[in-house]
Each structure stands twice: as C-alpha cells, then as structure tokens.
C-alpha cells in the first residue's frame, strides 16, 4: 500500500512531468508553424468533412478569417506549450489546450472515413493521440499542477510581511531562507527542459530537414499544396471546362504496365487503399485537376468521394463494348453519373483490326443518342485514321502518345501495328508491355490535321519517361489534354510541370481544339 508520505512527495512530481511533456509537444507544434512563413491551416480546414466541416470550410474560404485562424492556431499552440512547460497559468493553459485538441478531433475524428485528409497517428477507433492528450490536459486542468514544480507556486501563494500586530497574524507566513531557496528551485523545474528544447529546436531549423516530424496533432497529407506554382490551365471539351492535366485511373485499378515486374500490380493496390484513393482525388481537385478517367468498377470510390468531400471532380468513363453485351458498360457508366464517355483503346483497336469499324460507329452513335459526348480511344493510329476516313462521329479522341527514347522500347523494325496490349514476348527485342505508341512521329503528323480535341495518354510510357520530358513532348506535338496516372505524392509536381510547360510552348504547331 502506498503511504500518504509517498503520495505527497511523488504524485506532484508525476503531475509536473506530465505537464512538461504536454508543454513540450505543444510548443514544438506551435514554433514549427510560427517559423514557417508558408504554413497555413487552409488545406486542413478545407479537408474536414464531419459535423463542423461546413464551418471549417467557411473559415478557409475568406483570407481574413483564415489569417486569424492561422495566427490563433500557431501562437495558441506556442503560448500554451510555454505556459505548461513553465507551470505558469497552468489551469488556463490546460483548458485552452483542451479546446484546441477538441477542435482537431472534431475536424478529423478517428473513425469511419471522416479522418481522410489528415495523418492521425495512433488511431484505434474513437481513441486517437489527440484524444489521449486532451484527457491528460483535462487532468491538469482540474488540478493545481502548476504549483508542483512550476511558477504558479509563487503566483498563487500569499506571502505577507509581519505587521505591528505580531507574528501570529493569520496573514503572516514565516518562511526560512533555506525553504525559500528550495521553493524557488522547485518552481523553476521547467527551465532546464525549456533550455533543452530550445537548443534542439533552433538547431533543427538550421538543418535541411528537422529530425522530428512536424505537426503531429494536425499533420496533413496535403502539405505540398503550399508548393503550387501556378493555376492549372483548362480547355473546353464538349462543353466542359477540363484541366489540361487529367487524372488516370490505372494506378487506382492496379494496372502498372510494369514490363516484367510481377509484383507491381499488387503493390499499387496495396498502396492505394480506399482512404488513400479518396485523399488522392481530394488532393488532385484542390491542386486544380478537375477531371479524372475512371471505369465502372471504380464507381464506388467516385461516389464516396463526391459525397463525403463535396467533390466536383468530373468523370470521363472508359467503356467496353463486348459483343455479348454491347451496350451494357455504356448504360452502366451513364447510370453511374458519367460526364463524358469514350470507347476503351484496346476495344477500338480490336474492332478496326478485325474490319468491324461499323461496330465502333454504332457504339459512338449510341452514346451520343443518349445525350453524352462520345470519344474513341486507341493505341493504334489506324483507329483514328479509320474514324476520320469513315466519318465516325467521335466528339474527341483518346490516343496514346509518347516518344520512344527510353531503354525498354524495343527496336522499330520489330514493331507491328495492333500489337500494343495484345502480345507479350520474353525477347527484349519484341513487345512486352513496354511501348504504347509504336510510331509517335506518325501520330504527331496525322493528328496535326485532326480538328477534334485530343487527349493524349500513356505520355510517360507507363513511368519510363520523366514527366517534364513526356509532358512537353505531348503538348508541343499537338495534344490538347494529357491523361496521367499519379500517386498522391506526384500530384503537385505534375501540376507545376503542366503549368510551366503550357505557359511556354514555343514549338507547338497544331492548333488548340479545346
């Protein structure tokens, strides 16, 4: 059994350690924001989707309100942390900390899909690190923990000097010199910790990357949004305002086109779980990408994103026209809310290769009769040539386009029309999921005279070409839009590259048909 003397001696010390640890965390969170001129809570506020999501987005929508929120958050964290470490105004600081942590918890509660958009470390359904720290501050708020090894000892203690009425006055406290010195030392117990913190923190600022991870209570997936360098350019596509950079869907679906790397498809699927897919769509839209390619099997992701995030992402559905269910995928895409539709490239290739281009025309006309824009996808340029020659009324084209100056491209003399996505050889000199536009110069020459919008896809040859190289090649040679599969960590960089290249196109000869 713990004695009363033990409790009186050591419990105050435990309270002091709890207070200093919480103060350390708050102070770090605050200073890392105060010292970063680019930091803002905007993306955090805009991403919230729980019960106060509308309120948080209202704050983020106005520069003056956002500026006030940034100031209160960063300096609030800093001052709360400083007060807790020193043990000064501890109860007030604890309650202010509870208020801040409660706000973070309500913005991104650790259950369901509501935590999407933030990295909440240590979530175990309802209980999160924010909640645990909030409960710790509640304990401090209901106690006089600042009087234990803190400056509140002197702030709250009533010390009177002896009066002429005698030393036995009820307002007189006799304190020996040695007792005063002990109390002074105990009240400044937080100072060594503050000195240790200051040395480590300001040293980390001079390093390229801090050792610790900043913003543990409100760390965002979206931090790189602050690095956007321009506004995404857009063009008209069948009446829709569409970003020049369109999101692809292969990385979400788990189609890596990774040559002979057999694990890549599984890796993509493991990385892009539902939460990450929703966050990626949200990040893309906040970065200026307003349109994505998708397929019917990915509809649950699109539906959930549009609902939970109040998303405005437009969809271009890739549809399959199987002979045993020719219109089924088209009808399903329309039912799923497609904005535009196009015939999947391998399907178009097959029908043209087999001399059944009338089936392609039938599918396009069916989509248009339903009141939707209809595009035709293709790997082979022969598909586009056939559509133009036979007057197939496609509203736009989705054609592969990339140069072949990369290691895994096999020799030109071994390339045969309609071989993309159909054959795979073990011979490095033959096709093996390694090239998607067999003769890019021919594509550029022919598309120069096609007066319809052209969305170029596979512009990076499934990751074999650097974005700056592939994007410039596509736009300079006539593409109106590019469709690119992107992981979340690639989005901001790809947006910046698109802005840079489209703003400085000197060699483009084809007009903009968008």
- Give, for all 514 residues of the chain, the pLDDT tens digit: 566 666 666 777 788 888 889 998 999 899 988 888 778 888 788 778 778 888 988 998 888 999 999 999 999 999 999 999 888 898 999 999 999 999 988 888 877 655 554 444 555 677 888 888 999 999 988 887 777 777 777 666 654 444 444 434 444 444 455 566 666 566 666 677 677 767 666 666 555 444 433 333 334 444 467 788 999 999 999 999 999 999 999 888 877 888 878 888 889 889 988 888 988 998 999 899 999 999 999 999 999 888 877 789 999 999 999 999 999 999 999 999 999 999 999 999 999 999 999 999 999 999 999 999 999 999 999 999 999 999 999 999 999 999 999 999 999 999 999 999 887 888 888 998 899 999 999 999 999 999 999 999 999 999 999 999 999 999 999 999 999 999 999 999 999 999 999 999 988 999 999 8
351 is a domain residue: yes
pTM of the model: 0.68
d(C-alpha 489, C-alpha 495), whole Å: 11
CB of 350 within 8 A of CB of 378? no
**Last-in-domain residue among 205, 238, 260:** 205
**Last-in-domain residue among 145, 174, 205:** 205
- Cα of 137 vs its chain's centroid, Å: 31
| pLDDT computed for residue 457 by the predictor | 97
Q: In angstroms, what CA-CA distances link 470 with 107, 372, 474, 511?
A: 39, 30, 6, 19
HSE toward the beta carbon, residue 431, CA cutoff 13 A? 19
Give the domain extent around 198. Answer: 4-205
d(C-alpha 339, C-alpha 332), whole Å: 13
| pLDDT computed for residue 480 by the predictor | 98
**454-457 and 396-400: which strand pairing?**
parallel
Q: Are residues 258 and 186 in the same domain?
A: no
Q: Are residues 191 and 239 in the same domain?
A: no
Q: In angstroms, what CA-CA distances link 145 with 137, 142, 150?
A: 10, 9, 8
Among candidate residues 247, 252, 230, the one with its CA nearest the CA of residue 283: 247
Q: Are residues 137 and 265 in the same domain?
A: no
Among candidate residues 14, 18, 26, 155, the one with its CA nearest the CA of residue 99: 26
Neighbouring-strand partners of residue 318: 342
222 is a domain residue: no
First vs last C-alpha separation in the chain:
81
Q: Are residues 9 and 140 in the same domain?
A: yes
Q: Are residues 304 and 405 in the same domain?
A: yes
Residues in CB range of 493: below 8 A, 6 or more apart: 467
| pLDDT computed for residue 52 by the predictor | 84
Residue appearing with tokens 């089924």: 328
Q: Are residues 49 and 94 in the same domain?
A: yes
514 is a domain residue: no
Q: Are residues 399 and 483 in the same domain?
A: yes
Total structural domains within the chain: 2
Q: Are residues 233 and 197 in the same domain?
A: no
508 is a domain residue: no
**Last-in-domain residue among 143, 173, 205:** 205
Q: Are residues 41 and 133 in the same domain?
A: yes
Q: Are residues 200 and 75 in the same domain?
A: yes
51 is a domain residue: yes
217 is a domain residue: no
215 is a domain residue: no
| pLDDT computed for residue 331 by the predictor | 98
Residue appearing with tokens 């480590």: 200
Among candidate residues 149, 156, 168, 283, the one with its CA nearest the CA of residue 220: 283
Residue 342 is part of a domain; what is its CATH number? 3.20.20.100
Q: Are residues 66 and 191 in the same domain?
A: yes
Q: Are residues 345 and 199 in the same domain?
A: no
| pLDDT computed for residue 88 by the predictor | 86
Residue 164 burial (10 A CB sphere; 0-12, 13-18, 19+) = exposed
Please provide residue 191's backbone torsions phi and psi, each rounded to the nearest 5 degrees.
-65, -45
| pLDDT computed for residue 211 by the predictor | 40
220 is a domain residue: no
């Amino acid at each position: 059994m713990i004695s009363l003397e033990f409790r009186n001696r050591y419990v105050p010390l435990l309270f002091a350690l709890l207070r200093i640890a919480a103060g350390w965390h708050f102070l770090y969170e605050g200073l890392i924001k105060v010292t970063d001129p680019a930091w803002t809570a905007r993306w955090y506020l805009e991403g919230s989707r729980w019960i106060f999501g509308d309120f948080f987005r209202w704050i983020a929508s106005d520069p003056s309100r956002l500026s006030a929120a940034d100031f209160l958050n960063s300096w609030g964290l800093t001052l709360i942390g400083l007060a807790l470490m020193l043990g000064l105004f501890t109860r007030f600081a604890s309650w202010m900390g509870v208020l801040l942590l409660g706000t973070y918890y309500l913005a991104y509660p650790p259950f369901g899909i509501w935590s999407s958009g933030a990295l909440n470390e240590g979530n175990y359904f309802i209980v999160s690190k924010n909640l645990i720290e909030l409960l710790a501050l509640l304990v401090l708020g209901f106690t006089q923990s600042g009087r234990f090894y803190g400056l509140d000892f002197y702030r709250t203690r009533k010390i009177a000097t002896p009066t002429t009425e005698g030393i036995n006055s009820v307002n007189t406290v006799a304190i020996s010199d040695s007792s005063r010195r002990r109390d002074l030392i105990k009240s400044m117990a937080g100072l060594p910790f503050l000195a240790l913190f200051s040395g480590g923190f300001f040293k980390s600022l001079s390093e390229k990357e801090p050792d610790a991870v900043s913003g543990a209570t409100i760390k965002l997936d979206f931090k790189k949004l602050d690095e956007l360098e321009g506004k995404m350019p857009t063009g008209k596509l069948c009446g829709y305002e569409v970003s020049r950079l369109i999101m692809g869907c292969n990385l979400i679906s788990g189609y890596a086109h990774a040559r002979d790397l057999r694990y890549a498809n599984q890796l993509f699927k493991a990385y892009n779980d539902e939460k990450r897919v929703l966050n990626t769509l949200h990040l893309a839209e906040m970065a200026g990408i307003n349109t994505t390619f998708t397929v019917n099997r990915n509809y649950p992701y699109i539906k959930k994103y549009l609902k939970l995030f109040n998303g405005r992402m437009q969809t271009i559905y890739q549809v399959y026209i199987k002979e045993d269910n020719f219109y089924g995928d088209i009808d399903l895409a329309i039912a799923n809310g497609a904005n535009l539709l196009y015939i999947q490239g391998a399907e178009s290739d097959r029908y043209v290769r087999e001399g059944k281009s009338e089936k392609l025309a039938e599918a396009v006309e069916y989509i248009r009769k339903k009141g939707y824009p209809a595009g035709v996808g293709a790997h082979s340029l022969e598909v586009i040539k056939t559509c133009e020659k036979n007057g197939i009324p496609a509203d736009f084209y989705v054609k592969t386009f990339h140069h072949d100056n990369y290691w895994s491209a096999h020799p030109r003399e071994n390339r045969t029309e309609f071989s993309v996505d159909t054959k795979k050889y073990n011979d490095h000199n033959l096709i093996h999921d390694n090239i998607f536009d067999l003769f890019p110069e021919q594509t550029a020459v022919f598309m120069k005279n096609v007066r319809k919008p052209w969305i170029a896809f596979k512009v990076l040859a499934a990751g074999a070409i650097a974005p700056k190289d592939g994007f410039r090649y596509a736009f300079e040679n006539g593409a109106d839009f590019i469709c690119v599969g992107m992981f979340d960590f690639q989005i901001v960089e790809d947006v910046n590259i698109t802005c840079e290249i489209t703003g400085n196109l000197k060699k483009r000869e084809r007009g903009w048909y968008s």
